[in-house]
Amino acid sequence: LTGTSREQRAFQYLLTHAIPGDPHHILQTFDQWCYHCEHLSWAHAMSGRIVERVLLERAPLRVLELGTYCGYGTVLLAQGLPPGARLYTIEGDPRHAAVAEKVIRLAGFSEQTVELIVGPSEEVIPRLREKHGLMNANLVFMDHWKRCYLRDLQLLESHQLLAEGATILADNVLFPGAPHFLQYAKTCGKYHCKVHRARLEY
């Protein structure tokens, strides 16, 4: 009825209630919106703790996120980066990317720390090295279309964009599910796999 999308309404709520330049408060305010106003699908508090633990353990200098959406996961990743690290995040929907860009900058992250790339992941991934300067990624966070997980992992492999010992975090592989991705990761012999169980978001 308002003529604005859920994502835009969530950002307006952020503008009103969140503390600019405070990533933790940005995420808390997003959570409040989703618990009490409207549901939006993204990495929630329990998944967030898994992400935070991996960032602390691995201290990756080059991080790639597939599926920016409104920027929740991006802010979560960016706030845990070690000094000098860079995050590349890919969003296929220009409308979502427009909201995410404002969220990321509201949280206080510059383009030198977080680069938002707009376009389909299958088109962006082959150009990451030449156009965006990503030689390889130490950590990849997948939270886009589940049917694209396997295709995009194999694209990253074929373009040699995974650093030695890289970590792949893939959200929601059991529900709604990415069975082909999961089977490949478990049987191809390239990865050590661990499934983290978490409750449904919000």
130-179 pLDDT, tens digit per residue, is 999 999 999 999 999 999 999 999 999 999 999 999 999 998 888 778 99
CATH of the domain at 116: 3.40.50.150
User: Any catalytic annotation for residue 93?
Assistant: no
How many domains is the chain built from? Answer: 1
Domain extent, residue 136, equals: 44-188
Q: Which of 131, 171, 190, 194 is catalytic?
A: 171
**Look-up of token digits 């590349």:** 88
Query: Does the pLDDT value for residue 1 go beyond 70?
Result: no
Asked whether residue 131 is assigned to any structural domain, the reply reads yes
Of 103, 41, 109, nearest to 78 by C-alpha is: 109
User: Any catalytic annotation for residue 31?
Assistant: no
Three-state secondary structure call for residue 26 = helix
pTM, whole model, 2 decimals? 0.93
Q: Would you say 77 and 90 are in contact if contact means Cβ atoms under 8 Å apart?
A: no
Asked whether residue 3 is assigned to any structural domain, the reply reads no
Q: In terms of C-beta distances under 8 Å and separation of at least 24 residues, what long-range contacts does 173-176 make, across chains too? A: 173/146, 173/149, 175/200, 176/146
181-202 pLDDT, tens digit per residue, is 999 999 999 999 998 877 665 4
C-alpha 144, offset from chain centre: 8
88-120 pLDDT, tens digit per residue, is 999 999 999 999 999 999 999 999 999 999 999
Q: Which of 38, 146, 186, 194 is catalytic?
A: 146
